[in-house]
Amino acid sequence: MPRTVAVVTSSRADYGHLYWVIREMRDRPGLEPRLVVMGAHLSDEFGAAVDEIERDGFAVAERIECLIDSDTDVGMASTIGVATLGLAQALGRMRPDMLLLIADRYEMLAPASVGLALRIPMAHIEGGDVSEGAIDDAVRNALTKMSHLHFAPTETARRRLLAMGEEEWRVHRSGAPSLDHLRRSDLLDRGQLASRLGREIAEGSLLVSYHPVTIARDTLLEADALFAALEATPHPLVLCFPNADAGSRALVRRARALCELRADAHLFVNLNPVVYWSLLFAVGAIVGNSSSGIMESPSIPLPAVDVGARQHGRERARNVIGAPAEAKAIAVAIERAFDPAFRQEIRGIENPYGDGHAARRIVDVLAGAPDRDRLLRKRPAPVPQDG
């Protein structure tokens, strides 16, 4: 019997990272991926991305309706609870041999908790990374301690997982699987991209990918500075919807207001992975606080302005320009991103997040993983002796 692997995806962002992993598993004898789709994927407000998953040829084994119609931290917490109830029933029926989770979204605490209770071995992608300005950091570390196999995006992340006490045989440096898109996907040229988006992307456009700062009491604390800089920049703007976090609806309202103010600004609700990665090649720079500005941009290389605290602590290549959440500082950083001398300087840089071969490495490990009992019995690292 093939080893069944339940793959949980809750947003367009994590699905983009999982796409080639799922493809590799589907084509690998002895593995059977089963997709569990939940959260924003099932929301019309966030683009109903489950339709894209099915158009990609993947069967959806379970749909978990759990995203609370709210724009608050209480809504986020309630979403975890509703997801836990739905996943308990779904995974209880499915009883997969393994559960595959990725990254650091708060709702991933639900499948991890259910998997723990049902004694399902868990594999986790992108543990060991750091993002100090979001609750994602704590979620990521919690998933690490609840999981049994680890796929680190960088060498530093791998060493951090070992420092957290994980056994060495469980920890693998895979790289970030999102980079497989840049190597393997048929990306769109400018004409194809314009056809998909319904409009042309002007040369020298600035891609804006910005999310609430979830660790702050006011998750929109830094947004005023960003939007002030965007109002003043001379570059055409391409804005993406934020994550489904507390404060996301307020960000969408501000983005729409900016688009009404500027004829050269356009907001897109849901960009599938191939369209999004193609867009990275079409624009002149990216600004915001999304991980894509740090993890994927060096492989192009695309100048990236990282705003504020959300991604503090994350490894970064030389194409990433940090800017505090101050309008003037953001404006200066944007102009540096478009400076021909800077663009020349970052040519040929190495991306610490990998080489676009992560999916194969991950699936090789999943296919050859030990049996359930060996995976579930975690041994703690030795405690250093005093003196």
Q: What is the pLDDT of residues 227-236, one digit of tens each?
A: 999 999 999 9
Answer whether residue 381 is part of any domain. no
User: 217 and 324 share a domain?
Assistant: yes
Q: Are residues 260 and 331 both part of a single domain?
A: yes
Does 48 lie in the same domain as 112?
Answer: yes
Q: What is the dihedral of CA 288, 291, 293, 297, to 10 degrees?
A: -170
Is 162 in the same domain as 36? yes
Q: Count of domains in the chain? A: 2
Range of the domain at 134: 3-177+356-376
Average of per-residue pLDDT values in the chain = 97
The reply to whether 260 falls in a domain is: yes
Is residue 115 exposed (0-12), middle (13-18) or buried (19+ Cβ within 10 Å)? buried
Output DSSP code: residue 108. Answer: G
Confidence of residue 52 (pLDDT cuts 50, 70, 90): very high
3-state secondary structure of 63: strand
Q: Are residues 65 and 159 in the same domain?
A: yes
At residue 152, the 3 state secondary structure works out as strand
Q: What is the pLDDT of residue 387?
A: 61
pLDDT, one tens digit per residue, over 248-281 is 999 999 999 999 999 999 999 989 889 999 999 9
Residue 142 domain flag: yes
231 found inside a domain: yes
Q: What sections of the chain are H helices per DSSP?
A: 12-27, 50-55, 73-94, 109-117, 136-146, 155-163, 179-184, 190-197, 223-232, 248-261, 273-282, 292-295, 327-337, 340-345, 358-368, 372-376
Mark whether 257 and 147 lie in a shared domain: no
pLDDT for 296-326, tens place per residue?
999 999 999 999 999 999 999 999 999 999 9
For residues 276 and 274, what is the distance between their CA atoms, to the nearest angstrom?
Answer: 5
Q: Is residue 387 a part of any domain in this protein?
A: no
Which distant-in-sequence residues (6+ apart) come within 8 Å of 7 by Cβ? 18, 21, 22, 25, 33, 34, 35, 36, 100
* pLDDT at residue 251, rounded to an integer: 97
User: pLDDT, tens digit, for every residue of 193-216?
Assistant: 999 999 999 999 999 999 999 999
Q: What are phi and psi of 132, to 5 degrees?
A: -65, -20
User: Which residue type sits at 234?
Assistant: P
pLDDT score at 359: 98
304-307: strand order across its sheet: 265-268, 237-240, 206-209, 285-288, 304-307, 320-323
Q: Are residues 112 and 238 in the same domain?
A: no
- Domain identity same for 163 and 249: no
Q: Do 166 and 213 have their domain in common?
A: no
Q: 339 and 322, same structural domain?
A: yes
% of residues, the chain, pLDDT over 90: 96
Could you read off the pLDDT of 58-114 as tens digits, one per residue?
A: 999 999 999 999 999 999 999 999 999 999 999 999 999 999 999 999 999 999 999
Is residue 386, in this structure, part of any structural domain at all?
no
Whether residue 159 is found in the same domain as residue 260:
no
Is the Cα torsion angle 15, 124, 373, 27 positive or negative in sign? positive
Domain annotation covers residue 385: no
Same domain, 135 and 264: no
Q: Domain holding 112: CATH number? A: 3.40.50.2000
Tokens of 28: 């690998």
| Residues 6 or more apart whose Cβ sits within 8 Å of residue 343 | 303
351: in domain: no
